[in-house]
Amino acid sequence: MRLTRVSTFALALALLIPGFISCYGQGDADRPVPGGGITVPGWVGKVDGEQPGQKVNTAKLAPEGQALHVTTGPAITYWNPANKATGDYTVKATFTEPKFMNLNDHPHPYGIAIAGNDMDSPQQTYLYCAAYGDGKFIVRGFGPRPFQMNGREGAANAAVHKAAGVGQPVTQQIAISVKGGRVECAINGTVVAGYDKADLVSAGKLKSTDGVYGIRFAHNTDALVTGLAVTKP
């Protein structure tokens, strides 16, 4: 592979500055949230990785009326250990980004997490489907290392709503369903991705599709979550 001057410079910085690769690749560094922490009773969270300063109290989960208000900092997953789903089920919620990209310089995703096991340990496994306010979505997970189901950049789908512009609101209804041998993600009522359970419950991916469910947010994102619930067929 031939290195350009830019990539050579980035590689040099990566060797000198811890965490530079993630900042360089994403275009913006994690911004700790003032007054961060979790103030929703019963809920817990875990940030990605073990980099210095990437702590739960540098992001914020707080009640706001009937909603959960999430503001990140580092990428983080939140859940209530009492919220578990087994067998066939659908977990759904509505995500509203009041001001698209107000904390970042490019779109960042948020969505539903399911099948959480060993969540408070380095062996955590779970799957998530998340939407961007520019019409794209991703399906990823931890097993316990990160894995991708629809590529590094995700995919565009007409069902995913697009904000009218920076600072404008955008809302996504996201659901993940487990039924028989299939796992599907629907956004705004349209199935955007589906996988055989056998392709997910395997070495390096999920321990099971049974487990806790919650919400997943990328870094430097601000949104409201309403209607988080599980339903059975």
Mean pLDDT of 21-43: 76
What residues have CB less than 8 Å from 94, skipping those under 6 apart? 171, 172, 173, 174, 225, 226, 227
pTM beyond 0.85, yes or no: yes
Q: Map out the domains of the chain as residue ranges.
A: 1-30, 32-231
Report the SS3 class of residue 80. Answer: strand
Considering the chain, what percentage of its residues have pLDDT values greater than 90? 79
Rounded to an integer, what distance in angstroms lies between the CA atom of residue 188 and that of residue 131? 10
pLDDT digits (tens, 9 = 90+) for 159-184: 999 999 999 999 999 999 999 999 99
Order of strands across the sheet that contains 170-179: 37-38, 60-64, 67-71, 222-231, 89-97, 170-179, 182-187, 190-196
Report the SS3 class of residue 197. Answer: helix
pLDDT of residue 29: 86
pLDDT digits (tens, 9 = 90+) for 82-126: 999 999 999 999 999 999 999 988 999 999 999 999 998 889 999
What's the CATH number of domain 32-231, 3.30.420.40, 2.60.120.560, 3.20.20.70, 3.65.10.10? Answer: 2.60.120.560
Using alpha carbons, select from 138, 84, 88, 81 the residue that is nearest to residue 108. Answer: 138
